[in-house]
Amino acid sequence: MAASSPDKVALLSGNEAIARGAVEAGVQVAAGYPGTPSTEIIEALASIAEHLGIYVEWSVNETVALSLAAGAAFTGVRSLAVMKHVGLNWASDPLMSVCLTGIKGGLLVVTADDPGAHSSQNEQDNRIYAYLANIPMLEPAGPQEAKDMVIEAFDLSEKIALPVMLRTTTRVSHVSENVRLGDIPRDRRQARFEKDFGRYYLAGKTPVRRHMWQLEQMKKAEEWSESSGFNRLENEGGHTCVITSGVSYCYVKEALALLNVTDVAVLKIGVIHPLPKSRITELMKSFDRVLVVEELEPVLEVQIRALAQITGGSLEISGKMSGDVPRCDELNTDSVLEVLSCFLRKELVREETENRLPQRLLTMCPGCPHRATSYALKEALRRVSSEYVVMGDIGCYGLAALPPLQIIDASLCMGTGIGLACGMTRGGLDLPVVAVIGDSTFFHAGMPQLLNAIYNNSKITLIIYDNRTTAMTGFQPHPGVGKTAMGKQSVVIKPEEICRGMGVHFVEVVDPHDLAKSINIIEKAIAFNGPSVVVARRLCAIVELKQKGKERPYQVDLSNCTGCGICISQFGCPSIIWKNEATAIDPSTCNGCGVCAQICPSGAIQRAKVVRYGV
């Protein structure tokens, strides 16, 4: 990644290619908050940052990441802010302002969208943000193009003094391709801030003035888009055209080949905003029928339809608005094949293939401390009341909503569990109301929510599931870990100290693997008259496994096992299996946490003396 090897080729994922592109473009500052499918961009940059003399950080949330990148760009250095699609909701506030101040050094904002919501709470289409902020957006169809676009985006950003966005989707971020490498510049720009109050201080009439300026700058972007090679027409000649962008372009090409169609033109749009309007308008004159194939919202289609109004002719436009392309979920070659065969009225002859992928349930890992915390929470709540409500949040602990624990009733987006819980009590719900949150989520979004609960005297109990990492996105460090993205030592910021500092009078820390104590403390927290916090702290089982290796597993002593099945039906560790009409523990996955032994009412689970693999 860090080698300056012009014209060499390397197999890179889309995310690695973006990181490489940023490095080749001379990026000096990069910040992000983890989120699938964007995470590997910052990880790749962090792994080479020191070697290349660039600064890379995991910020505590996306608004911080973009603010930091914008500050660096104000000083004339090139900077990058990286986030998943919903992260841009957090960063949208600084985005909507930095598009008015503009920047000096190139500023690239990467948003990685998740059509199909593979690992997200929604499938919002962030192309719309480019129109909202009115800044350029590029969308690659694969890693090579992603790298090329990043480099050009930095140049464009500096040319028009506006931030530029790059939008990827899961398939582009995670697919790998041979990517041609370029040179890595070694010279570094000296940061300089030229004070300009009428530009950087957005108040009074400055926003309106800067808005006018922005519109002028975007005219330059339009000119650039008109001649950009990222918008290209392939296979000219016929009277039918498919307009597409991003990974949908790959599906279209594949589907046309499968249909054996050679007389359909493909207009690949790489510059989502501003579109090359004159070019499209001119092109449309030569077609009778156009199909727009894009994922999620009809962003291109709406504009193509508007442009068709200008040309006047009798162009037939199909897409999502005509009901020909699905609006929800991601596309794939099969779905595009179906769309194209209807559009082109070409019969689809398909070999039926069997879906052999095993259906897997979502579950926490063996030994995950969150399972024990959730079990303890459920037990404590049961002791207090037959009815209760638990508001969840985003992270591995959210899996406690699923069987068999089923302890979480609702979850929206990062940080909202506390607010939801407060709202329920304010609505008059007369039940124990608990909010749960992970440690990374607490630092990201939970702190102001808790502060609000304290300030407004809301009686809720907050359980902080502290596994000392951001587990769900791949174990990134956060302020509680004592390490930065670049591997430097840092202070360890403890959630319990923050909670006490904020004014919570009941704050306790428990080890969730000490089940009896955890149940006891959580019960007291629920009974406490005021906001209460329990920090359930134990290192993520996977991180522990990597650091310390595997503990001796547990096993079932069948002479004591009554077959009650509580360990499976109520605790649900995937290492506990049902085999030959009896409970057994798979020693290859059991990590020896021993919590199941605390749950077993007949003392039938004990640490194995001799480990025999292959139960």
Ligand X SMILES: Cc1ncc(C[n+]2csc(CCOP(=O)(O)OP(=O)(O)O)c2C)c(N)n1
Kindly write down the DSSP assignment for every residue of 125-188, as one continuous string.
-THHHHHHHT--EE--SSHHHHHHHHHHHHHHHHHHTS-EEEEEEHHHHH-EEEEE--------
Which of the residues 531 through 570 are near ligand X (CB under 6 A)?
none
| Nearest alpha carbon to residue 122 among 277, 329, 280, 380 | 329
Q: Cα 208–209–211 angle (5° rounding)?
A: 60
CB of 580 to ligand X, least distance (A): 34
Residue 249 or 465: the one with the smaller Cβ distance to ligand X is: 465
67 binds ligand X (CB under 6 A): no
Residue 37 or 163: which CB sits closer to ligand X?
37
Nearest to 555, CA basis, from 579, 582, 590, 580: 590
- Residue 316, H or E segment: strand 316-318
CA atoms within 13 A on the CB side of 371: 26
Angstrom distance (rounded) from CA 369 to CA 541 = 7
Dihedral angle sign, alpha carbons of residues 442, 443, 445, 447 = positive
For residues 400 to 419, the per-residue mask of contacts with ligand X, x marking binding by CB under 6 A and - elsewhere, is --------------x-----
Please report how close the Cβ of residue 365 comes to ligand X at its closest, in angstroms: 11
Q: Under rule CB under 6 A, which residues in 69-108 are in contact with ligand X?
A: 84, 86-87, 90
Told to check if 66 binds ligand X by CB under 6 A, we report no
When asked if residue 129 is in the footprint of ligand X (CB under 6 A), the reply is: no
Query: Is the Cα torsion angle 49, 55, 56, 58 positive or negative in sign?
Result: positive
Smaller CB separation from ligand X, 266 or 471: 471
- Choose, by CB under 6 A, the member of 228, 440, 532, 575 that binds ligand X: 440
State the minimum distance, in angstroms, from the CB of residue 442 to ligand X: 7
Of positions 113, 330, 439, 523, contacts ligand X by CB under 6 A: 439
The CB-of-295 to ligand X minimum distance in angstroms stands at 19
Asked if 273 interacts with ligand X (CB under 6 A), we say: no
Q: Which residue in the set 14, 32, 34, 270 belongs to the binding site for ligand X (CB under 6 A)?
A: 34
Residue 59 is a binding residue for ligand X (CB under 6 A): no
Shortest distance, position 439 Cβ to ligand X, whole Å: 4
303 binds ligand X (CB under 6 A): no
- Least distance to ligand X, CB of residue 34, Å: 5
Beta carbons of 545 and 551 less than 8 angstroms apart: no
Would you put residue 227 in left (φ > 0), alpha (ψ -120 to 50) or beta?
Answer: alpha
- x/- track of binding to ligand X for residues 460-499 (CB under 6 A): -----x-x-xxxxx--------------------------
Cis peptide before 37 (omega within 30 of 0): yes
Among 72, 108, 394, 522, the residue binding ligand X under the rule CB under 6 A is: 394
Report how far residue 71's alpha carbon sits from residue 384's, in angstroms, rounded to the nearest whole number: 50
User: DSSP code of 206?
Assistant: H
Applying CB under 6 A, which part among 32-40, 129-137, 349-357, 371-379 lies near ligand X?
A: 32-40
CA 241 to chain centre: 34
Report which residue's Cβ sits closest to ligand X. Answer: 438
**Residue 559: CB minimum distance to ligand X, A:** 37
Contacts of 210 (CB under 8 A, 6+ apart): 100, 101, 102, 199, 202
Say whether 607 sits in a helix, a strand or coil. strand
> DSSP per residue over 493-524, as a string?
PPHHHHHHHHT-SEEEEE-TTSHHHHHHHHHH
Question: Is the separation of the CB atoms in 470 and 477 below 8 Å?
Answer: yes
Binding mask 186-205 for ligand X (x = CB under 6 A): --------------------
Q: How far apart are CA 69 and CA 41, in angstroms?
A: 15
Whichever of 302 and 410 has its CB closer to ligand X, that residue is 410
Q: Which range binds ligand X by CB under 6 A, 28-36, 158-166, 335-343, 377-385? A: 28-36
Contact residue for ligand X among 438, 479, 495, 587 (CB under 6 A):
438
Looking at the Cβ atoms of 127 and 478, the one nearer to ligand X is 478
Instruction: Write the binding mask 133 to 172 for ligand X: x where contact by CB under 6 A, - elsewhere.
Output: ----------------------------------------
Distances in whole angstroms, Cα of residue 605 to Cα of each of 505, 539, 563, 601: 38, 23, 12, 9
Residues that bind ligand X (CB under 6 A): 33-35, 84, 86-87, 90, 370, 394-397, 414, 438-441, 465, 467, 469-473
